[in-house]
A and B are shown apart, each in its own frame.
Chain A
Amino acid sequence: MSFLEIKNLHVSVDGHEILKGIDLTINPGEVHSIMGPNGSGKSTLAQVLARRDAYHVTEGSVTLMGKDLLEMKPEEAACEGIFLAFQYPVEIPGISNAYFLRSALNAQRKFRGEEEMDAMDFLPFFREKLKLLEMDEKLMNRSLNEGFSGGEKKRNEVLQMSILQPRMAVLDETDSGLDIDALRIVANGVNGLRSPERSFLVVTHYQRLLNYIKPDFVHVLVDGRILRSGGPELALELEDKGYGWIEQEAAAV
């Protein structure tokens, strides 16, 4: 069974149609990348998959392991295995990173009928992941993302991903605002999570990230439609020729 199946998805925001009929199938273990110019609808797609209210689906369907994703609330989609690494992670004062993570993990475990993790078991598990992402343990007692630099916030997203172990991770422009070193660490974190049971949807504007996280498939999204799909070479072609080239090719057809 395919893991994520998107069929003819139309999405509007404030009365404007952003996605104009998206078809996409992601199988377990696959890494797909969505690339496109600004305003093409990349983030919209990511947010819809995470079930954000403001985005109205006007037509089409999305199934997650056979279940209707569009019927799910954000927390339900999350517990079913969707994780969104936000482009701009928010700060929430008063809640420590560690406490928040353990609560989220246990909320998901509870949903799945699994045993919750107590603080004693959580800590070593947590520390191990912190090390992988080269993050300071002191950051974890701070409030959620409070005072974090852009790079630290992005790394925190990947840290959460490694703790929550989603089936389908959607990365929304994770590379924006990152320098080379941070990029390397984040990519390592993501690559470390690749497995036959896990799929990734990497939304990005620049090809650079894909040097570090090599995709199996690349789709080019322009003005709400996927104009072209291909393998990793497509990304290189895009970098070479620009998005305009795809639009011209599509128009010519």
Chain B
Amino acid sequence: MTTNTDTIRNLAQQDYKWGFVTEIEEERIPKGLNEDVIRLISAKKNEPEFMREWRLKAYRHWASLERADAEPKWANIKYGPINYQDISYYSAPKQKKQLNSLDELDPEILRTYEKLGIPLAEQKMLAGVAVDAVFDSVSVATTFKGKLAEAGVIFCSFSEAVEKHPELVKKYLGSVVPVTDNFFAALNSAVFSDGSFVYVPKGVRCPMELSTYFRINAAETGQFERTLIIADEGAYVSYLEGCTAPIRDENQLHAAVVELIALDNAQIKYSTVQNWYPGDKQGRGGIYNFVTKRGACRGVNSKISWTQVETGSAITWKYPSCILQGEGSVGEFYSVALTNNYQQADTGTKMIHIGKNTSSTVVSKGISAGHGQNTYRGQVKILKGAQGARNYTQCDSLLIGDKCGAHTFPYIEVKNSSARMEHEASTSKIGEDQLFYLQQRGLKAEDAVSMIVNGFCKQVFRELPMEFAVEAQKLLSVSLEGSVG
């Protein structure tokens, strides 16, 4: 261990020689990706050897894929080549540029906050306005942590978990999404910055909804986030990720990995509201959100539910999935994905039925407006041993205007004859008739579209924790502005 610590210290000091000055003046390491960068990242985070080796293994795999030009290209999305050497893979948890008041903020952003109904205190926090000592959030977070500690729930940053709970990390990391899983998962595994770690002990029902917002230091969204959530036998946890406020980032590529593990009779509810910068009205800029999310229902009667509202990002490419191993396990996927202007989305889910009497539900609502291209890609796979498997899939598309597109690619593979599957799909357009009817009753065109869209999304919004549901509705309205007329 001493040798390791020395080595790390040496390395950490070395990079100062490379022009990486102090954390405040220069937060990033030079751009580029190679083994040295990986070691540097691990060193800067003071990681133990196992973590560093894990990263290196992932990097080597990724590099081999890159050399073989094996970056996946099969999705229904178009984007220019990504120069992986032109990215800086480490930035210290930096201080956000401090503003003195909200008046200094881009009025457009402020207007969006108002429309989304974000409370003033939160607006300040999001904008990086210097927080005064009286700010409630700090005390709220403290009480929050206290309650969790009482229940025995571990909720901390991934980095902290590596440091304080390495045995848990070692046991579960990569067990649902191995480093070889796919190109972007390999990249993430090599260079991940930080994320959330949750462990709920046996029989514990987590006393409150966990939110990334409450992770102290969580104001900055990571480019390569890594999240690991474990619900031990009989445990329950509801986790919320993201926020409705639009977030800009200089880094275009975001490749996160989320692994969920539910043991016997455990339940994990994972909700996401994503509104990252979608690019401008001409489709320039915007974040690429290439995510691997997977839940393993390992235990008997375990359950994992994914609920997502994706309105941001220039490109969204993700398939939150469930591996239904345990007998009687249940997987759910509820999604609203919106593409407006020139946004693109290729999203859906994979439900893999392995154990007996497993069931899955998929409800996907795609909304296309402007020149948006929205693709649902879903796989339901029933393996031979999945006696009594049941799946219900509903995928609906709503088109607003005549320049957008909606596409559906369902993959159904059934290897057990006792399986029952239902698949429904619909495509509809917001008709001028419908809009006029609502307007004639006194509703403005935008409110009318909002109402119709919310009606369309109701089935999914119902699954969101209440606070998110209200925000999600407003978010959809704001995202659809200008799509009519």
Contacts and interface: CB of A to CB of B under 8 A. Distances in A.
A111 interface: yes
Given A90-B434, A92-B437, A75 B455 contact: no
Interface stretch (B281-289, B349-357, B383-391, B442-450): B442-450
B237 to A, nearest CB: 31
Contact of A164 (B436, B439, B441, B457): B441
B439 A93 contact: no
A111 B441 CA distance: 12
Nearest to A160: B441
A36 interface: no
A92 B455 CA distance: 9
Q: Among B436, B440, B445, B447, which residue has the most Cβ atoms of chain A within 10 A? A: B440
B118 interface: no
B455 A78 contact: no
A113 interface: no
Interface string B427-442: 0000101101111111
Contacts of A51: 440
A78 B445 CA distance: 13
A74 B451 contact: no
A83 B349 CA distance: 46
A80 to B, nearest CB: 10
A221 B362 CA distance: 55
Interface stretch (A101-109, A178-186, A203-211): A101-109
Given A90-B434, A107-B447, A78 B442 contact: yes
A42 B465 CA distance: 51
A198 B159 CA distance: 70
B193 to A, nearest CB: 40
Q: What bracket does the count of chain A residues touching chain B fall in?
A: 20 to 34
B421 interface: no
A50, A107, A108, most chain B CB atoms within 10 A: A107
B455 A104 contact: no
A242 interface: no
Contacts of A74: 436, 439-440
A110 to B, nearest CB: 9
A105 B438 CA distance: 11
Interface in B398-423: none
Contacts of A90: 431, 433-434, 437
Contact of B437 (A53, A79, A86, A164): A86
A94 B454 contact: yes
B441 A93 contact: no
Given A92-B452, A94-B458, A100-B451, A75 B442 contact: yes
A104 B437 CA distance: 11
Contacts of A194: none
Contacts of B444: 75, 107
A89 B441 CA distance: 12
A107 B440 CA distance: 11
Contacts of B438: 92, 100, 104
Nearest to A93: B455
Interface in A162-183: 164
Given A75-B444, A107-B442, A52 B456 contact: no
Contacts of A8: none
Nearest to A79: B442
Contacts of B445: 73, 75
B440 A84 contact: yes
A234 interface: no
B439 A73 contact: yes
A95 interface: yes
Contacts of B434: 90, 92
A170 to B, nearest CB: 10
Contacts of A143: 455
B200 to A, nearest CB: 35
Nearest to B430: A92
Contact of A75 (B443, B452, B458): B443
Contacts of A89: 437
A141 to B, nearest CB: 13
A81 to B, nearest CB: 10
Contacts of A77: 440
Nearest to B426: A93
Chain B CB count within 10 A is highest, among A79, A84, A103, for A103
A111 B439 CA distance: 13
Nearest to A145: B437
B451 A95 contact: yes
B455 A94 contact: yes
22 contacts: A50-B440, A74-B439, A75-B443, A79-B442, A83-B440, A86-B440, A90-B434, A90-B437, A92-B434, A93-B456, A94-B452, A94-B454, A94-B455, A94-B458, A95-B454, A100-B451, A103-B451, A104-B438, A104-B443, A107-B441, A108-B442, A164-B441
